[in-house]
């Protein structure tokens, strides 16, 4: 039984180590969630009066309620961890109490036995009654160990009692933590209920104003369709202009290439003419050196043959020495002639290479002067999913494509982009390097088109702009201040087009 209980306690202790980590994770998550709730409250307080009946406001209320419920769920989990800790502490206290009872019982038996043999006289008699010195020494060691054993058992009792006190204190601390958590939960439940009531009242306000709001929505949808039509026309015109420009550039490039080839050939011919005399002289020098080397080699061979014949006919020694000397001189002349021929050949190669390098450098210079081969690439598509978000902080209230209205279910929206609710004064920023192709005033607000190769990013519903047409912009460049929508909310309409086709921005931006 005791063994099974020990195993159970070991399992609980092992689990509690992970439970403590999980508890800390939950506490950190709750701290982060509360920060988000605080930020949402600040946004809601800022926009409450001017845009209460807006989808952005309703989404913020929904988001805050969701965060509150996550906090409550995490607190419930944290409470269970605390309850597990209290149960574990109680098991440890029970186990320690049982162990303490056994220790006290054993120590009492030791004390009784010690009492029966107490006193210095009895110990002395016990030692002196030994049969020999060895037995006396053994009895002294026994008494010493017995005394140490008593001290050890007393210390174990004291330590166990302290362990029980420590576990009781930890249990009380966990119980107090649980009580505080229950109070927090009670407050959270009250807050959640109040926010649910607020959400319901808001929905009722929407319903009360359904006729007015649906009329405004339909008007907005008509404006959105008009905006989409104009965007399509503007992009089509941009693409037409870009294609015409590309064709013109291709023709201009071809003409520049033709003129550059003529100029390059003329320059290479000039360099060739300037170096022709040097090349001819070097070639003549090489041929003379090779001929001289050939003659010297032949002479050396002839001298060697004469020396061989002289040695065979056993001529006079002095004639033999003269022949050997002549042979050496012929060999030296042949060596010098060969070295001179190799140098002449190397000089000819160097002159030819220098001539070729000069012609190649001249051709490159001419091509550069005629602006041939300078193509700038674009990598917008390569950064899909990593492109920046068009505002610092905001909530996506309307998504891309065909979407049911979040309040009025009989209305379906067709969105070629996304709508982002932001705080008043927020400025839209460019999401990727590009060129501002055009700025248009559509439906009373400003729209900025930024071209990124074959892609466009479009920033609509701006009250003012901070860029101008044909301006080169970087990622993060401020485009303009976001304006108010028909419902009073401050909303940015953001779109991404691949050529003449809109794509879902949430598949491209890092959000």
* Each residue's pLDDT tens digit, 243-299: 777 677 778 777 777 887 887 788 778 877 777 777 777 778 778 877 877 777 777
Going by pLDDT thresholds of 50, 70 and 90, the confidence category of residue 460 is very high
Which pLDDT score is estimated for 377? Answer: 32
223 to each of 2, 229, 230, 445, how far by Cα in Å?
A: 79, 10, 10, 11
If you average pLDDT over residues 179-207, what whole number do you get? 77
Q: What is the pTM of this model?
A: 0.50
Q: Considering the domain 379-507 in this protein, what is its CATH number? A: 2.70.70.10
Going by pLDDT thresholds of 50, 70 and 90, the confidence category of residue 403 is confident
What count of other Cβ atoms lies within 10 Å of the Cβ of residue 156?
15
Neighbouring C-alpha atoms within 13 Å toward the C-beta of 34: 12
If you average pLDDT over residues 143-153, what whole number do you get? 69
Which pLDDT score is estimated for 327? Answer: 66
| 6-10, 74-78, 422-426, 490-494, range with the lowest pLDDT | 6-10
Which pLDDT score is estimated for 373? Answer: 45
If you average pLDDT over residues 403-413, what whole number do you get? 73
Q: What are the sequence ranges of the domains in the chain? A: 2-208, 256-369, 379-507
The overall average pLDDT reported for the chain is: 75
| 205-209, 428-432, 455-459, 493-497, range with the lowest pLDDT | 205-209
Better-scored residue on pLDDT, 319 or 74: 74
With a pLDDT cut of 70, the percent of the chain lying above it is 70
Rg, Å, the chain Cα set: 49
Residue 198 to residue 205: CA distance in whole angstroms: 10
Contact 447, 427 (CB under 8 A): no
Which pLDDT score is estimated for 12? Answer: 47
* Chain centre to alpha carbon of residue 352: 54
């Amino acid at each position: 039984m005791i063994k099974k209980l020990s195993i159970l306690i070991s399992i609980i202790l092992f689990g509690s180590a992970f439970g403590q980590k999980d508890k800390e994770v939950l506490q950190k998550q709750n701290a982060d969630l509360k920060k988000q709730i605080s930020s949402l409250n600040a946004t809601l307080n800022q926009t409450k009066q001017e845009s209460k009946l807006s989808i952005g406001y309703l989404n913020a209320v929904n988001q805050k309620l969701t965060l509150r419920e996550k906090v409550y769920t995490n607190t419930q989990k944290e409470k269970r961890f605390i309850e597990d800790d209290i149960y574990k502490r109680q098991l440890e206290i029970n186990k320690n109490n049982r162990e303490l009872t056994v220790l006290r019982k054993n120590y009492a038996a030791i004390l009784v036995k010690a009492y029966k043999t107490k006193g210095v006289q009895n110990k002395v008699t016990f030692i002196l009654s030994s049969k020999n010195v060895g037995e006396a020494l053994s009895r002294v060691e026994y008494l010493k160990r017995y005394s140490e054993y008593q001290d050890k058992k007393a210390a174990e009792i004291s330590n166990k009692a302290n362990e029980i006190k420590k576990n009781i204190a930890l249990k009380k601390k966990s119980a107090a933590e649980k009580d505080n958590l229950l109070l927090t939960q009670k407050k959270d439940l009250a807050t959640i209920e109040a926010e649910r009531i607020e959400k319901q009242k808001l929905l009722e306000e929407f319903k009360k104003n359904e006729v007015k709001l649906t009329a405004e929505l339909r008007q907005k949808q008509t404006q959105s369709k008009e905006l989409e039509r104009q965007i399509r026309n503007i992009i089509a015109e941009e693409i037409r202009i870009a294609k015409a420009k590309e064709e013109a550039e291709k023709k201009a490039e071809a003409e520049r290439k033709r003129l550059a080839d003529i100029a390059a050939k003329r320059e290479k011919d000039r360099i060739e003419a300037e170096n022709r005399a040097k090349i001819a002289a070097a070639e003549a020098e090489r041929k003379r050196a090779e001929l001289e080397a050939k003659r010297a080699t032949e002479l050396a061979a002839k001298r060697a043959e004469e020396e061989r014949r002289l040695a065979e006919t056993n001529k006079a020694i002095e004639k033999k020495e003269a022949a050997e000397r002549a042979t050496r001189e012929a060999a030296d002349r042949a060596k010098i002639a060969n070295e001179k021929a190799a140098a002449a050949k190397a000089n000819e190669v160097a002159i030819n290479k220098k001539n070729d390098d000069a012609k190649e450098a001249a051709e490159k210079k001419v091509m550069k002067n005629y602006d041939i081969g300078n193509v700038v690439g674009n990598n917008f598509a390569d950064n899909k999913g990593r492109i920046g978000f068009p505002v610092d902080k905001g909530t996506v209230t309307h998504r891309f494509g065909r979407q049911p209205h979040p309040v009025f279910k009989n209305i379906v929206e067709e969105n070629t982009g996304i709508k982002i609710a932001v705080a008043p004064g927020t400025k839209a920023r460019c999401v990727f390097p590009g060129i501002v192709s055009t700025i248009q005033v559509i439906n009373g607000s400003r729209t900025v088109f930024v071209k990124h190769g074959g892609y466009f990013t479009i920033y609509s519903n701006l009250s003012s702009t901070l860029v101008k047409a044909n301006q080169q912009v970087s990622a993060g460049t401020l485009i303009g201040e976001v304006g108010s929508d028909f419902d009073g909310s401050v909303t940015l309409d953001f779109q991404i087009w691949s050529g003449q086709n809109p794509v879902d921005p949430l598949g491209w931006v890092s959000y």
